[in-house]
Structure 1
Amino acid sequence: MTDGTATPVNPYLVLGAAVVLPASGHVMLGVPVRGLQFLFFMVILGWVTTKLAPADAGFIGRHAGGFLIYALSVLDAYRIARIRHAIWVHKARPAGDSAGGDAPSNI
């Protein structure tokens, strides 16, 4: 685009990175502190649920708090990426182009 706005990161790339490595999606988006906060609470709640879970619980059950924050982190990184991409697409559209068909006709 010629307006000088940088192209945002592809939301699916951010989603893939966030699924593979926690907080990496936030780092790709330029908000590493937010990713670090998610990692901190992931570890803390994972530890808390290991102490509160019954002895016969499986791995997922013993670390359910950490997995909950992990899932929220993935969703948050993807949401931020989608919003940034949608804003970029909206700004890149020419002024007279409207998706709703409201453009004045030249009759």
Structure 2
Amino acid sequence: MMRIRSWMVLLVAVVLPGCGHVLVKLPVRGLMFAFYTLLLGVITWQLTTPDTSLVGRLAGGLFVYAVSVFDAYTWAARRAHAAPVGG
């Protein structure tokens, strides 16, 4: 069985929110992060005014996205550290 490297999980998580978790075999967690990224992005978009910057209008979703990327990388690093070297 091939091990996924932590930096590969990080790259996938940055490009495709929630998919980094799928690579470390946590698909439900990844789906939850993707759902809340979209949900909070829509909520903050609706609650802000049109003169607010794009980052400000999507702040809730961007926050969850950033936490998701960090979380996927952390899980990948934990699993890589716990895996046997010869296996």
Query: Would you say same fold, with TM above 0.5?
Result: yes
TM-score by length of 2: 0.89
* Aligned partner (choices 1, 4, 7) of residue 12 of structure 1: 7
C-alpha distance after superposition, 1:68-90 (max 9, x if no partner): 000010000000000011111xx
5+ residue gaps in structure 1? 1-5, 94-107
Percent identity at matched positions?
Answer: 42
Q: Are 1:92 and 2:85 an aligned pair?
A: yes
Superposed CA offset, 1:53-72 (max 9, x none): 23311111101000000001
Of structures 1 and 2, the one scoring higher in RCO (CA 8 A, sep 6+) is: 2
Q: Number of aligned pairs?
A: 86
Give 4+ residue runs of structure 1 displaced > 3 Å after superposition.
Answer: none
Question: So what's the TM-score if we normalise by structure 1?
Answer: 0.74
Q: What's the C-alpha RMSD, in Å, of the aligned pairs? A: 1.5
Matching residue of 1:102: none
Greater fraction of residues in helix: 2
Structure index of larger Rg: 1
Give the Cα–Cα distance (whole angstroms) in 2 for the partners of residues 17 and 41 of structure 1: 18
Unaligned stretches of 5+ residues in structure 2 = none
